[in-house]
Structure 1
Amino acid sequence: MGAIVAHLGVGASDVGPTALLRVLDGTADPRTVEVVLGARLPRTLTGLLVGLALGVAGAVVQGSTRNPLAAPDTLGINAGAYAAVTLVAVSGVQIGVLGQGGAALLGALLAAALVYLITSGGVAAPGRVLLAGASITLAGTAVAEFLQILDEGATGGLFFWGNGTLLAASLDRPLVLGAVIAVCFTVVPLLARPLDLLALGDSAAAALGLRVDRVRPGALLLTVVLAATCVTLAGPVGFVGLVAPAAVRALSIRRHALLLPLAGAAGAVLLLGADSIAQIVLPSSAGYSEVPVGVVTALVGGPVFVLLARRVVTGDVDGGAAVTTGRGRRDGPNRAWIAMTTAAVLLVLALLFAVRTGDVDIGWGQVLATLVGAGDTLSVAVLDLRLPRIVVAALAGACLAVAGVAVQSVVRNPLAEPGLLGISWGAAALAVVVIGVVPGAPALLLPLAAGLGGIATAGLVMLLARSGGTLDPTRVVLVGLGVAATAAAVVNMIVAGAQFNAAAALSWLAGSSYARDYNALSWLVLPVLAGVAVALARRSVDLLALGDDLPRALGLSLRRTRVAVLLAAAVLAGGAASAIGTVGFIGLVAPHLARPLVGNGTGRLTVMSALLGSLLVVAADGIGRSVLAPVEVPLGVVTAILGAPYLVWLLRRSSRA
């Protein structure tokens, strides 16, 4: 009740808590009544309903899966609903609030089904389930961002709604969807005893008469319905379903008869408190933009996720990552040279295609004539704009790919890449801080800040992921996901508070080479040198894949080598982020495509990955510039749409193996 009253008393106008009493006793003036009943009450009711629903949904899904890190957002359910609602907005079809809720439900069900299929059904290891949820989240978010760019007029408000917001135009929406939540709550008490039994394990629960095959799908379905309703009402608010049950369990409350309602209450307090803090710290009356409440909950939930990830038992400390890939072929140097030569030729062709395609197409003859200094005015102008950004994109792609090789070698996890480990977001966060705090800073300060941010994030992830002095490959990725979410929240907070243009912010955060010139190449000098250093240190990097004991026996200093390689990876990822923004999946896909072609040797793998990384980024940049010309799709959205299915396939293949 205190959180409700406090939230009602916060806002842009000067209506404080004492004015609420005058509204209740009927002595308030018409303006005060309009502010309270027309603006604040719908917002507070929305926060109350969403907080209650997400808190209960998180407790239900954690109990049914026995996974303390499970929540509607970490399992990709929110992202599926978000993409579905965005699709409805782009279509322009007016289906009302219940229709939007139905669309969100279908998207959430699809996301949950994909996670279920990826992990082969049942209760899988926490690491594998969360990696599957992360891949679905990345895919759903990329699809939603692409749809927003597709029709900015119809989706103009979805940038802030996509981060979660409690803004409500009237009471109609929360009242209608609140009825759906109320119906779901009637089922929740029936799950208390079954969830208590599931905590004993499937075999023990079945021995006590529980139909596990019915209870678990029913609990997951209830979670999906609650999450879809919340997304329809307030957007994809993250981490409430994770933090609220964790806070209740911290009080040593385990029985679900008490845990479920208390988790709902904790979720409501958390969400209303976060929204109140956002309005107090960055008040709109002082000229700041509205800060989505999901940004604040992510600032709280990201560190909590990291804390819980440190305690999760993955079982991968000795055996390696929860997801593995093939070792690559060893058909001799000739095959490797043929593969690298082919990749170089394809890269040159991709560069030429990228130069001539876009909102203004120029012919091959014009391209060749311009390259030899005999082009017409139009061709020269087009190449002066396109060629620098394409070269920057190619070098940045190579840096991201080599960063992926380096990180995977240190962590011994084929899913470790700068984006999933939070390195790219850490680099972006410090770069955005420089942009927001020192807008007139020298251009060289941006890549320097990005590099330092990447280095600091990499060090933090590795420090937090250590367990008993040993590096757990799966925990590294889980901790990285939490750090990435926190860094992304910092970026979004700065973007919202500094009143950046939403469309421009969306494009930059999604990765873009737009308006890059040859000066940006200087930002990539140090990252390129770091990549060369990784290739030259191939013997030491190769030994990292052999575990701990054998490299030590061969005289390798594991600590120094890991720190040096990880430092190089952070410089590579930070430099790429400063040049083209946060582009994901290149550090994952490029090394995976390279290994079957040239093997696992770091020397050849680094060169081949760099070529493939350049090829992928140049191709993505060309696709983004041409598919909706003159509207430009950020290359990070293109790589996410293409890379997320690859990650899903990789997880599914590993599950079958």
Structure 2
Amino acid sequence: MDESIEMQRMPKVFSMSPFWLTGALAMIALALSLHRLDLLLPMRLWRHALLAPDSGDMRQLVFYASDLPRLVVCLLAGAQLSLAGAIFQQVLRNPLAEPTTLGVSAGASLALSLTMLYAPSLLFGGQEWVALGGASLGMLIVVALAWNSRLSPVALILAGLILNFYCGSIDAVLTLFHHDDLQSIFIWGAGSLNQNNWDAPRALLPRLLAGLLLAALLARSLAMMSLADDSAKALGVSLRLVRVGALALAVGLAASVVASVGVIGFLGVLAPTIVRLAGARRFRDRLVWAPLFGAVLLWLTDEIVQGFTGAWAEVPTGAAMSMLGAPFLFWLLPRLHALPDTVELSAVHRRAARPRVVIWLALGVGALIGAVALGLGTGVSAAGWAGWPGAHAGALLHWRWPHVCAALVAGTLLSLAGVVLQRSTGNAMASPEVLGISAGASLGLIALVFVARNAGHLLQSAAAGAGAFATLLVMLMLGRRHGFAPARMLLTGVTLGTAFSALVTVLLAGGDPRMSSLLGWMAGSTYDVTGREAATACLLLIGLGIVAATLIRWLEILPLGEAVATSLGMNTRIVRLALLLLAAVMTGIATLLVGPFSFIGLMAPHLARMLGFGRAAAQLAVAAVLGALIMVGADWIGRNAMFPFQIPVGLVATLLGGLYFMGLMLRGDAAQ
């Protein structure tokens, strides 16, 4: 049965119809707006301020040029994003599709950042065309990456996730070297709705009206996409033409919003899903109610944000929308009974002849020793390139070895954690980064910094591990009911990652000085790792490696299935909990060393399996060596590529890993 038909049969969750649900939220938002605006300007002066504001009265000027345009922008932007989300979901037959998860918003935002830095003259004619070009390119990349998987829901989400990570990494690199130039675009890119004129409403209104008109013209053809392809063709629907036209319309709507107000996460998936669960089963109904509900939801969120005081008054509405949307999606996931559980994306192309583990390990360890020697003894300094033997190389050894050691330990731990997660959940796409576990470890550390800024390394490790394990528990609760299906696990990871990014944005906007000490770490820098911390990390790696080696039998049996494991006398619940706890501790320590973002936990286990190492012991050993090798190489590249500036190792690993995985998906190796 077609996936869209299943979506239409989703049970009604909300007792109120879309009309009453939208109306109730609109009344609350209206009451908040009237109260706030009345405090700014007495209601008796509103008509005069709207028609002919007194230039000598600052309250009237703010009312006319700032508050009213902001309210209108909320309504227009919310309606456009929700309409785009409804179209994306219908065309792609994917209830999770929306501008954020498909990489459209990330592509538009990165295009604007690059243009502002390197070709600002292109912005003189308006930034919407630049945003549209970036959004279109982002959508094309996502479609190309998922093409070999026939645009399956999981493949599309994964491709969008990779593109979001990749664009975010490039943005982070640009911010490191052009912080002052991009400071304004940082807050704007997080979805700030502050206005000082009516330009944004004038730009958004005609685009929304045109979008609604085109969507109405395409409504019948799009509704036919709820049928199987053969049935739709039999009814005279040109699927290719309709898909291309509808996707172009949705991309244009999303790009217009990004160009005007920045990225607003989750709204494109929240509004269509909520109205569907409230009873709007037909696509025509969602075309009406999704824009209305999205407009009201963003309006209400913005009113709540404007109620903040003090340092929190500058929190971007887009970031707040992501934080408010994440808990709702966690609540919603178990209720999406019809979410298509497609084949898991794994790169299990084993060779006919089983490779010799000893030979490959010897080659890998030799390459790792060479990379460590290169990282310790060769690099750029103030005196130029220095290598073994040389006075400069010896003098810099004291500073270099903690960084190299931290990269090696982090790469090894993330690789081991990735193998443990994949084998314990039976999901080949499980990894600390994709499932949001690294983000959970980061949240634990951020919470500790706000409670006890001068906490020691042991306490920091405990906080990061606790955050990672708490995230794992959430993943277990959400995934266990549906057998750790890839689509649900990936969406949960996307939700956690987006919520984490939104929280960081909110904290940065709040201006708390405690966040400044975490900026370099969040980018994945090893610059602040001391020799003592590096030595401690090595000891922890040895201990955790020994623990992982003793659990190889569990890792070998669990992928065989629940029935087989139980028949062999294994208590799968306790075993899986112990393995996930081990993965959480590994992830927490690695996150402390290199920050929350890299693809090592996903990439190294896949490389090991592609080489033919499917047994638990062999995969653990080979993945550990490969992960360490990649991270040590990334550390060396980051220190020397743009000397005297240092690119954090986490960003370099993400850039390298993103390219690798994009190539993997283009070849179809990640979609078998």
The letter of the residue matching 1:567 is L
- Where do residues 165-204 of structure 1 align in structure 2 (5 Å cutoff)? 165-204=192-231
Report how far residue 638 of structure 1 moved. Answer: 1.5
Is the deviation greater in 301-310 or in 136-145?
A: 301-310
The letter of the residue matching 1:290 is E
Give the share of equivalent positions with the same residue, in percent.
Answer: 31
Which residue does the alignment assign to 2:325? 301
Asked if 1:636 corresponds to 2:650, the answer is: yes
Which residue does the alignment assign to 1:439? 453
Return the alpha-carbon distance in structure 2 between the equivalents of residues 328 and 584 of structure 1. 28
Which residue does the alignment assign to 2:17? none
SS at match of 2:127: helix
Return the alpha-carbon distance in structure 2 between the equivalents of residues 66 and 17 of structure 1. 46
Which residue does the alignment assign to 1:357? 379
Which residue does the alignment assign to 2:122? 95
Give CA deviations for 1:98-132 in whole Å, capped at 9, x if unaligned. 54211211111112112222222896332222122
- Where do residues 473-552 of structure 1 align in structure 2 (5 Å cutoff)? 473-500=486-513, 506-521=519-534, 522=536, 525-526=539-540, 528-552=542-566
Report how far residue 315 of structure 1 moved. Answer: 6.2
Give CA deviations for 1:121-165 in whole Å, capped at 9, x if unaligned. 896332222122212222222222223334333322233233222
Return the alpha-carbon distance in structure 2 between the equivalents of residues 454 and 136 of structure 1. 24
How many pairs were matched up? 639
Give CA deviations for 1:27-79 in whole Å, capped at 9, x if unaligned. 98702012222332333333222111101111111122222111111111111
SS at match of 2:583: helix
Q: Is the 8 A contact 2:305 2:320 kept in 1?
A: yes
SS at match of 2:116: helix
- Where do residues 394-433 of structure 1 align in structure 2 (5 Å cutoff)? 394-433=408-447
Q: Structure 2 vs 1, CA of residues 194 and 535 (structure 1 numbering), >3 Å: closer, same or farther?
A: same
- Where do residues 525-604 of structure 1 align in structure 2 (5 Å cutoff)? 525-526=539-540, 528-597=542-611, 599-604=613-618
Report how far residue 619 of structure 1 moved. Answer: 1.5
The letter of the residue matching 2:186 is F
Asked if 1:450 corresponds to 2:464, the answer is: yes
Report how far residue 171 of structure 1 moved. Answer: 2.4
Q: Unpaired segments of 5 or more residues in structure 1?
A: 370-374
The letter of the residue matching 1:300 is L
Asked if 1:465 corresponds to 2:486, the answer is: no
Which residue does the alignment assign to 1:225? 252
Q: Is the 8 A contact 1:64 1:220 kept in 2?
A: yes
The counterpart of 1:134, out of the listed 154, 158, 161, is 161
Which residue does the alignment assign to 2:134? 107
Which residue does the alignment assign to 2:625? 611
Report how far residue 431 of structure 1 moved. Answer: 0.7
Q: Is the 8 A contact 1:126 1:314 kept in 2?
A: no
Name the TM-score, length of structure 2 as normaliser.
Answer: 0.87
Is the deviation greater in 2-11 or in 399-408?
A: 2-11
Q: Is the 8 A contact 1:336 1:598 kept in 2?
A: no
Return the alpha-carbon distance in structure 2 between the equivalents of residues 56 and 446 of structure 1. 44
Which residue does the alignment assign to 1:325? 348
Asked if 1:143 corresponds to 2:176, the answer is: no
Q: Is the 8 A contact 1:164 1:237 kept in 2?
A: yes
Q: Is the 8 A contact 1:23 1:32 kept in 2?
A: no
Give CA deviations for 1:563-616 in whole Å, capped at 9, x if unaligned. 111111111001111222113210111122223446122223222222221221
Q: Structure 2 vs 1, CA of residues 84 and 195 (structure 1 numbering), >3 Å: closer, same or farther?
A: same
Return the alpha-carbon distance in structure 2 between the equivalents of residues 207 and 655 of structure 1. 33
The letter of the residue matching 1:170 is N
Q: Unpaired segments of 5 or more residues in structure 2?
A: 1-25
Q: Structure 2 vs 1, CA of residues 364 and 143 (structure 1 numbering), >3 Å: closer, same or farther?
A: closer
Report how far residue 655 of structure 1 moved. Answer: 7.2
Which residue does the alignment assign to 1:19? 42
Return the alpha-carbon distance in structure 2 between the equivalents of residues 208 and 568 of structure 1. 55
The counterpart of 1:79, out of the listed 106, 118, 122, is 106
Report how far residue 561 of structure 1 moved. Answer: 1.9
Name the TM-score, length of structure 1 as normaliser.
Answer: 0.89
Which residue does the alignment assign to 1:372? none
Q: Is the 8 A contact 2:110 2:171 kept in 1?
A: yes
SS at match of 2:299: helix
User: Once superposed, which parts of structure 1, at least 4 consecutive aligned residues long, lie more than 6 Å away?
Assistant: 501-504
The counterpart of 2:360, out of the listed 332, 339, 351, is 339
Q: Is the 8 A contact 1:586 1:613 kept in 2?
A: yes
